[in-house]
């Protein structure tokens, strides 16, 4: 089995789930976009949370608390990306943001149905539903991200006149459980540039997209 084949669950530094037909909320970031000290602090907190959750015996209570903790930890991680004053900001360059935007749209209908995205200076948020393939399986998240990262990294490095890692190897992904959560997440994604103080209305940010807008 290839590492890009469909899998319901696998783990790298973070756990990754892909239930058949699930809509996914994915966040990717540039390599080196968070200081090592911040990463170590966030990873240590995640480890403490995982250990605390393991002590909750009731499965439903554990799942409910895991959801609360996941939102809280993601909020801390995303705020760190929005406020850091170190690391690369290559996605600020219009040519590079355009490469990422074009690639996300290119994969729409090929790998997934694209709901929304927002491209920030050092990271991007994406909401999509993987499509059903001819083999009867949904397009693997790992395959989609590999395709996107490989193409955009090559194009961006040519523009920048550099070589080496462009995207961080790890990503945050979360299964959207229902329509209410999907709407909440899409609003979160669209308002990311507003929250960061870049625009007053998400429609004014050139690197934001919403399928139903």
Say which residues have a Cβ less than 8 Å from residue 159's Cβ, sequence separation at least 6. 93, 95, 96, 99
Same domain flag for 55 and 134: no
Q: What pLDDT, on a 0 to 100 scale, did the predictor assign at position 12?
A: 45
Of 50, 66, 86, the residue that ends a domain is 86
Strand 23-29 relative to strand 172-176, pairing: antiparallel
In tens, the pLDDT along 151-170 reads 999 999 999 999 999 999 88
Number of domains in the chain: 2
What percent of the chain shows pLDDT beyond 90?
Answer: 54
**Structural domain span for residue 66:** 34-86
Same domain flag for 112 and 181: yes
Other Cβ atoms less than 10 A from the Cβ of 153: the count is 17
State the CATH number of the domain containing residue 207.
3.30.70.1290
pLDDT beyond 70 at 13: no
Same domain flag for 105 and 69: no
pLDDT beyond 80 at 7: no
Same domain flag for 118 and 149: yes
Same domain flag for 186 and 200: yes
Give yes or no for a contact between 88 and 129, defined as CB atoms under 8 angstroms apart: no
The half-sphere exposure of 34 on its side-chain side, counting CA atoms within 13 A, is 22
Q: What pLDDT, on a 0 to 100 scale, did the predictor assign at position 174?
A: 85
Same domain flag for 136 and 200: yes
Same domain flag for 52 and 135: no
Of 64, 86, 108, the residue that ends a domain is 86
Same domain flag for 121 and 201: yes
Other Cβ atoms less than 10 A from the Cβ of 114: the count is 18
pLDDT band at 78 (very low <50, low <70, confident <90, very high): confident
Of 86, 102, 127, the residue that ends a domain is 86
pLDDT beyond 70 at 4: no
Average pLDDT of the chain is 86
Same domain flag for 149 and 94: yes
Strand 9-11 relative to strand 15-17, pairing: antiparallel
Strand partners, 26: 126, 173
Q: What pLDDT, on a 0 to 100 scale, did the predictor assign at position 17?
A: 59
Q: What DSSP state is assigned to residue 22?
A: -
Same domain flag for 63 and 153: no
Q: For residue 75, what is the enclosing H or E element?
A: helix 59-83
Same domain flag for 4 and 62: no
Same domain flag for 109 and 153: yes
In tens, the pLDDT along 99-153 reads 999 999 999 999 999 999 999 999 999 999 999 988 888 999 989 999 999 999 9
Give yes or no for a contact between 104 and 145, defined as CB atoms under 8 angstroms apart: no
Say which residues have a Cβ less than 8 Å from residue 172's Cβ, sequence separation at least 6. 14, 26, 27, 28, 74, 77
pLDDT beyond 80 at 18: no
84-88, 95-99, 143-147: least confidently modelled range: 84-88
In tens, the pLDDT along 25-65 reads 999 999 999 878 887 887 888 788 888 888 888 888 887 88
Q: What pLDDT, on a 0 to 100 scale, did the predictor assign at position 5?
A: 35
Q: In what order do the strands lie in the sheet with 112-119?
A: 172-176, 23-29, 123-130, 112-119, 208-210
In tens, the pLDDT along 185-212 reads 999 999 999 998 999 999 999 999 999 8
What is the phi/psi pair of residue 116, to 5°? -165, 155
Q: What pLDDT, on a 0 to 100 scale, did the predictor assign at position 85?
A: 79
- The separation between CA 19 and the C-alpha centre of its own chain, rounded to angstroms, equals 17
């Amino acid at each position: 089995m290839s590492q890009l084949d469909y899998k319901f669950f696998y783990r790298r530094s973070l756990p990754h789930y892909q239930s058949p037909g699930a809509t996914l909320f994915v966040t990717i970031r540039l390599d080196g976009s968070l200081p090592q000290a911040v990463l170590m602090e966030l990873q240590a907190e995640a480890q403490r949370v995982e250990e605390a959750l393991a002590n909750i015996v009731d499965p439903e209570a554990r799942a409910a608390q895991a959801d609360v903790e996941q939102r809280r930890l993601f909020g801390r991680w995303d705020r760190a990306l929005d406020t850091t004053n170190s690391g690369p900001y290559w996605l600020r360059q219009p040519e590079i943001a355009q490469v990422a935007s074009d690639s996300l749209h290119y994969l729409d209908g090929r790998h997934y149905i694209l709901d929304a995205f927002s491209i920030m200076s050092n990271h991007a948020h994406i909401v999509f539903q993987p499509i059903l393939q001819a083999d009867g399986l949904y397009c693997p998240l790992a395959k989609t991200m590999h395709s996107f990262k490989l193409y955009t990294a090559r194009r961006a490095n040519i523009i920048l006149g550099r070589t080496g890692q462009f995207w961080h190897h790890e990503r945050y992904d979360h299964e959207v459980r229902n329509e209410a959560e999907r709407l909440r997440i899409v609003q979160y994604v669209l308002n990311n540039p507003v929250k960061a103080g870049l625009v007053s209305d998400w429609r004014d940010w050139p690197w934001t997209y919403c399928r139903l807008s």
